[in-house]
Structure 1
Amino acid sequence: MWRQPKTVWSVAFACVISFMGIGLVDPILKPIADELGAGPSQVSLLFTSYMAVMGIAMLGTGWVSSRVGAKRALMIGLVLIIAGSAFAGMQDTVGGIVAFRALWGLGNALFIATALSTIVSAASGSVGQAIVLYEAALGVGIAAGPLLGGWLGGMSWRAPFFGVAVLMLLALAATAVTLPPTPRAERPSSLLAPLRALGHRGLLTVGITALLYNFGFFTLLAFTPFPLDMGAQAIGFIFFGWGLLLAITSVFVAPWLQRRIGTLPGLVGALVGFAAVLAVMGFGAHTKPVLVVGVVLAGAFLGINNTLVTETVMKVSPVERPVASAAYSFVRFGGGAVAPWLAGTLGERSIQLPFWVGAGAVLLGVAVLLTAAPIIRRIDQQPGHGAEAVNSEIEAEALTVGDA
């Protein structure tokens, strides 16, 4: 898995930097609220605008990349992220930050969708191994983001935004130098392709499951810093532990579980475990040690879920992988955009309520997932859990022409 072409490593590095942006904002949510006189529901809009725009923009990522080529699509996404993060750090109002977080989300949509399909298609080995590599980049980025955000946030709440801009400049340079030029597709993708792909029951079911799971995920990410009520560096260290455990389980535990018990039991177990952690955090919301342990422990279940659900999306339907990724992400991020705002709004009434609502939503996601159990079980009936061998050159060329 670790013997990969230069193209894969350059995109993976850019992914690490991109995913750092998710957790990097976490330690500074409370400082932003305190300095700008905003409540949890207002500050949570930093996540909502980011997720809403990213989800809707996912519908157009295939349309753009098939017309300009994968390399140009990645670079356009990186430029938008740089602009969004830099200008967000210059704002003096929550509304201004929210607006430029939306621009950041637009860039992230174009980058993430193209990056995942590029890694899967260009990697040597199996689809499953390529996805583990992608999730490893995600885990490292998510783990490092809060740590860097806490360190920079100790200086100023603006510093993490500028830090992202500088790091993404490095990622842009690496992508420009190491990624070979990719031509436009002979058959450009349609804007409606992701919506048509959602007609496949398995893909739609996994997308709705992820949407519901996002209610729990963003309760943890966007609301927990408020009841913790600690400094930026302390929050950064706590979420670093969360991200580190997420990275470990996504790379090592998830593939092992899939081999031992299968994809569906692994997903159900991870989601139920995460729901249980959220419920306990709800009961102990007034006790900081309970919240700290809950945040870190949740990382273990989220890492397993992320790897298994990403692999499921890539294999559960017969549509092209870039289209499947865009369709899934549209449902997951677009529909889940309300989750951060809802957690903040509920938290202004009771700090226990967001955790219980998040746990209930995750359990509802399990029920939805089980309705497509026969479809998901077919993945495990294929050799190597559907992790068919990938011919890197053929798959990469196929991705380029939009016919993976």
Structure 2
Amino acid sequence: MALANKTTTLAPETVLEESKHGLFHQPIAVWAVFFASITAFMGMGLVNPVLPTIADNLEASKSEVTLLFTSYNAVMAFAMLITGAISSRIGQKGTLMLGIAVIATVAGFASQADSIWTLVALRGGWGLGNALFVATALAAIVSLSSGGTAKAIILYEAAVGLGISIGPLLGGTLGSITWRAPFMGVATIMVIAFLVLLFLMPKPVTTTTAPRQKISLLAPFQAMKHRSLLTLGIVAALYNVGFFTIMAYAPFVMKLPAQGLGFVFLGWGMLLAITSVLTAPKLKQWLGTIKAMVLMLLLFAVLLLLMGIFTETPAVVIVCVILAGAVLGNNNTLITTAVMDAAPVERSTASAAYSFLRFLGAAIAPFMAGKLAEIFNANLPFYVGSGFVLLSVVIIGVNLKHIRHIDTIDSGH
């Protein structure tokens, strides 16, 4: 069954029904996807702490190592455009399991790689698997949840935060043995996630006997004709430049061993997870989605600016990276919730279009940061990242009339 179209005013009985269900009162299928999402994002964070070690062992430059994120995000961005079409043909469960199987396979091969370019190519395959999983997981949790869209997205972002926080700690621990161990760890974790979905997620995600509606490959492009969705996608692409400057470049300036980097990103991810669940809904209630997003983006720009000013002081960079987790946790939940109701299109299509734009920014940032550091100085990548985040605030201001209705939806009017 196709996911629900844009939500406007909920019927009183629907509101009453949703109010009966707390955040943690969910069907077993939701928890299966939740667990699998944690493992998928653990795979992303597992690699962070070993980036400097990979550079040393494979005799690669910083910019070459950052290509591990660029190839991953670039493939993921374009693959997002086909996730809806695939999911509508083989089902959400089949798409999730296919994505996990791809990740497990390429991670296993990556653990045996003997050159940076082999790793870069395999990370591209990893991006394909993650695209199949990520876009479908968000749509699956929303459609399966018993507590409404907002609560489902909070759960999804919590899974993202937990995965990103646990992954680096595990990656740092394994990476202290050998840089190859985290990749083998990803492969093992993905096999576990595959089995969880196989046995705990029901085959039919829907209860209808109607034929599954096939989604066109052009659907995400058609969805981007809606100015509201396009605006939020561009905003996400711009602030993801800052996000992945931290993910892919900051490990090189913190001057910590693999395990130390693991603990830093553990703190970053824990704050991301906590704020996704606890403070983002409060900010949305107090300020409205748009004002809260602008506030978080401005704070993020300030943190990146401080990292640029104090790049040669690792302690300041470490503190700013950890604090950035709180800002990003809030903003991720706010903007993802907004996207789900931004345009009158199916949520899976909205997610695919938004994610395509979002990960284009994520693809640009890592290699750009590495090159800026090599050509100019170590501080410039953070200044440029801050500038991109500030530009996202400008985009919100210029397009305010096209996204103002999001706050109207939030207030139930």
TM-score scaled to structure 2, two decimals?
Answer: 0.92
Identity of aligned residues (%): 52
Q: Is the 8 A contact 1:285 1:352 kept in 2?
A: yes
Name stretches of at least 5 consecutive residues in structure 2 with no aligned partner: 1-22
Q: Is the 8 A contact 1:202 1:316 kept in 2?
A: yes
Aligned 1:277-288 pairs, distance under 5 A: 277-288=303-314
Match of 1:109 among 107, 122, 131: 131
Mapped to 1, the partners of 2:110 and 2:238 lie a distance apart of: 29
Aligned 1:319-358 pairs, distance under 5 A: 319-348=345-374, 349-358=376-385
Matched, 1:157 2:184: no
Aligned 1:94-243 pairs, distance under 5 A: 94-182=116-204, 186-243=212-269
Quote how far apart the aligned CAs of 1:383 are.
Answer: 5.6
Q: After superposition, what is the alpha-carbon deviation per residue over 1:171-202, rounded to whole angstroms, capped at 9, x for unaligned? A: 00000001111389532100000011000001
Mapped to 2, the partners of 1:124 and 1:186 lie a distance apart of: 22
Q: Is the 8 A contact 1:263 1:376 kept in 2?
A: no
Mapped to 2, the partners of 1:22 and 1:203 lie a distance apart of: 26
Mapped to 2, the partners of 1:334 and 1:355 lie a distance apart of: 18
Q: After superposition, what is the alpha-carbon deviation per residue over 1:361-402, rounded to whole angstroms, capped at 9, x for unaligned? A: 00001111222323333222236568xxxxxxxxxxxxxxxx
Q: What letter matches 1:343 in structure 2? A: A
Quote the residue 1:90 is aligned against. Answer: 112
3-state DSSP of counterpart to 2:179: coil
TM-score scaled to structure 1, two decimals?
Answer: 0.94
Quote how far apart the aligned CAs of 1:250 are.
Answer: 0.9
Quote the residue 2:403 is aligned against. Answer: 376
Q: After superposition, what is the alpha-carbon deviation per residue over 1:207-266, rounded to whole angstroms, capped at 9, x for unaligned? A: 111111111111111001111121000000011111111111111010000001100011
Quote the residue 1:293 is aligned against. Answer: 319
Q: What letter matches 1:377 in structure 2? A: R
The 3 A distance-change label for structure 1 pair 344 and 178 is same
Quote the residue 2:297 is aligned against. Answer: 271
The 3 A distance-change label for structure 1 pair 185 and 103 is farther
The 3 A distance-change label for structure 1 pair 253 and 223 is same
Q: What letter matches 2:341 in structure 1? A: K
Q: What letter matches 2:399 in structure 1? A: A
Matched, 1:18 2:40: yes
Matched, 1:367 2:389: no
Matched, 1:76 2:76: no
3-state DSSP of counterpart to 2:404: helix
Q: Is the 8 A contact 2:99 2:129 kept in 1?
A: yes
3-state DSSP of counterpart to 1:156: coil
Q: Is the 8 A contact 2:49 2:175 kept in 1?
A: yes
Q: Is the 8 A contact 1:75 1:175 kept in 2?
A: yes
Mapped to 2, the partners of 1:106 and 1:112 lie a distance apart of: 10
Quote how far apart the aligned CAs of 1:22 are.
Answer: 1.6
Matched, 1:36 2:58: yes
Q: What letter matches 1:294 in structure 2? A: C
Mapped to 2, the partners of 1:79 and 1:369 lie a distance apart of: 38
Q: Is the 8 A contact 1:30 1:229 kept in 2?
A: no
Mapped to 1, the partners of 2:39 and 2:348 lie a distance apart of: 21
Quote the residue 1:392 is aligned against. Answer: none
3-state DSSP of counterpart to 1:91: coil
Mapped to 2, the partners of 1:47 and 1:385 lie a distance apart of: 39
Matched, 1:257 2:283: yes
Q: What letter matches 1:21 in structure 2? A: G
Mapped to 2, the partners of 1:313 and 1:385 lie a distance apart of: 16
Mapped to 2, the partners of 1:150 and 1:6 lie a distance apart of: 32
The 3 A distance-change label for structure 1 pair 191 and 228 is same
Quote how far apart the aligned CAs of 1:336 are.
Answer: 3.3
Q: How many residues align?
A: 386
Mapped to 2, the partners of 1:229 and 1:185 lie a distance apart of: 56
